[in-house]
Homo-oligomer: A and B are copies of this chain.
């Protein structure tokens, strides 16, 4: 299941991408437009700024804005920032690899074999989509 954090983060990014210009948009406006709890969205946007996807401006006329153009923003990056590993099991993760302590041999593991395929297919989708693709 996708966490609400990820869902809201994606919606916020898509909303920012759909703006005509890259002028700052207030949290309140995003929250209202996407039906998201404003306080919850605050922490999500802050996270997206700290990880380099968004810029922000304080004070009057402030808000959040995309740093790069939507077509330059890959969904692999977005998903890893918001949701974490794309793999469903750490032992098949590219960026968050961890060995299973219960599993003596990965290559003989049925779970490993299946989840490797699932990861590859998900990865193909995320690599094939930019933020721009999601708003047309």
Contacts and interface: CB of A to CB of B under 8 A. Distances in A.
Interface of A: 1-2, 7, 10-11, 13-14, 34-36, 75, 85, 88-89, 102-103, 109-111, 113-115, 117-118, 121-122, 124-126, 129, 134-135
Given A1-B88, A121-B122, A124-B121, A11 B111 contact: yes
A117 B79 CA distance: 14
Copies in the complex: 2
Contacts of A7: 89, 111
Contact of A125 (B2, B11, B111, B118): B118
Closest 4 CB pairs of A and B: A14-B110, A110-B134, A121-B121, A35-B102
